[in-house]
Amino acid sequence: MSSRVQNIRGMRDHLPSAMILRQHIVATLVSVFERYGFEPLQTPVIEYAETLDGKIGDDEKLIYRFEDHGGRKVALRYDQTVPLARVVAQYQGQLLFPWRRYAIGQSYRGERPGRGRYRELWQADVDIVGSSSPVADAEIIALLTDSLVALGFTGFTTLLSHRQLLGGIARVSGLDDAAAGNVYRAIDKLDKIGVDGVRAELLAGGVAHDAVERILALISLRGAADDVLAELAQRLSGDERALAAVNNLQAIISHVRAMGVPEQQFTIAPSLARGLSYYTGSVFETVVHNPPMGSLLGGGRYDELIGLFAGRPIPTVGLAFGIERLHDVMEELGLGPQARTVAVALMTIFSPEMAPASLALAHELRAAGLAIEVALDPGEKLGKQLQYADRRGMPYALVLGPDELAHGEVVVKDLRTGDQRRLARSVVADALRRM
C-alpha cells in the first residue's frame, strides 16, 4: 500500500463548489436533451473486453483492461458509444426505432494527462439510433447548439465535415484507399502540427509533392458553408462518394438552418478528421473561441458500428459532450452558478432555549422548498455562527430571538452586505426565494 494520500493522476476529486457547477451542467443538458425527446439510459462502467476490442481505432491501446475476480477479461468503457451499440444489439427486440437516448457518465482513457485531457472523463452522449435521415444529423447539431446556449456560451463554432470528404480529397489527388489512410492520419494532427507539419508528414509518407499541395488546398478551404460546399463539389466532381458527402452536408445544413441555428455558429471544415474509426458519414466538433481548449464535444454518423453487434446495419448519429471541458471552460469564463453552497441560509440558534423554535422554523422553510442549514451548537455565540455562514459563502443567515418569536417575526441577514431586515414569519420563505 502506497503511503501517499493522493488521487490518481488524470482523475479528479470534485469538492462541493465544483460539484455545484457540474450538477448545473448536467441538469441543464438533461433539460435540453429531454426537450428534444431523448430518453435516459445507463449502462455499467465495466464491459467484457471483447465488446470494446476493434471498435475505436488506434487509441484502443488507451483502454484500461484487467481480469475480474472470475478471471474474465474485462475493460473500463472508453466511451458510451460502444456500450450503446452493445445495448441496441442485446435489446433490439424491445426497442422501437428510431430510438433517441442520452447517457451521462464516466469513461476511462489511459492518455497522457494535460489541459482538458483527463483519464477519467465524464461525457454526456446523445444518439439517434435507427435513422439515416439527414434530419437526424441536423437534430443533433441543433441540440448541441441549444445546449451550449443554455449553458451560457456565446462564442463557439461547430466544425462540420464528412468521412467521405477526406477519402475523396485523397482520391482526386491520385491516391488509392490504402494511401488515403495515411493522409487521414496526418490531417488529423493538423491542429497539433500545423499545415507545415502535415505537409512534411505527407511528403515523408511518400505522397507526391503535387498531390500534397492539392490536398492542403482542399482541406484549407474556408468561408460561408454554401460557398465551401460549392467549391468542394466542383473540385471533387470526379468522385461520386465525395459528391454524395457534399450533398448530404448540404441537406444537413439546410435542416440545421430551419431549426434556427445561426449561420455564425457552424462552418464546413474539410480538414476535420476525428480520431474514432467508427464514423462513416457526417463528423463534427465544437470549439470555443476563448479560452483555448480543444473540442467541447465531438460526434458524427456511424452506420456500421452497431451492425458489428446486431448482425444487421443500424444507422446511427450522435455526439458526446466532454463534461470535463465544459466544466473547465465555464469556470474560466465565470459561466454558471456562482454559489459556493447549496444552502441559501443558515438558521442560527440564538440561545439554547430558542433551539426548538429555530429548528421548527428551519423545518417549515425546508418544507416550503428552501435549502436551509441549521447551526448545530445551541451554545455557540451568535457572532461565531454568522461568521461560519459567511465563510461558507452562504448568502443569508436567519435569526430568531425571543422578541422576534413573540412578534411572529424573523431577522433575515444578508451576509454579503451586512444588511438585515425583520420580516413577518409568514413571508420569509417567499422573500428568500425572491432574493
Residues that bind ligand AMP (CB under 6 A): 79, 109, 111, 116-118, 121, 123, 276, 285, 295-298, 320, 322, 324-325
Amino acid residing at 318 = G
Cα 300 from Cα 216, distance rounded (Å):
23
CB of 118 to ligand AMP, least distance (A): 4
CB of 146 or CB of 328, closer to ligand AMP: 328
Contact 159, 272 (CB under 8 A): yes
CB of 432 to ligand AMP, least distance (A): 37
CB of 227 to ligand AMP, least distance (A): 27
User: Rg of the chain over CA atoms, in angstroms?
Assistant: 27
CB of 285 to ligand AMP, least distance (A): 6
CB of 126 or CB of 261, closer to ligand AMP: 126
CB of 119 to ligand AMP, least distance (A): 7
Contact 314, 88 (CB under 8 A): yes
> For 223, which DSSP code?
S
Cβ atoms within 10 Å, residue 114? 9
Query: Which residue's beta carbon is nearest to the bound ligand AMP?
Result: 322
Cell of 108: 476511462
CB of 372 to ligand AMP, least distance (A): 36
CB of 86 or CB of 325, closer to ligand AMP: 325
How many residues does the structure list for the chain?
435
Nearest CA-CA partner of 275 in 285, 265, 289, 288: 285
CB of 12 or CB of 366, closer to ligand AMP: 12
How would you label 141-151 residue by residue, b for 16+ Cβ within 10 Å and e otherwise?
bbbbbbbbeeb
322: left (phi over 0), alpha (psi -120 to 50) or beta: beta
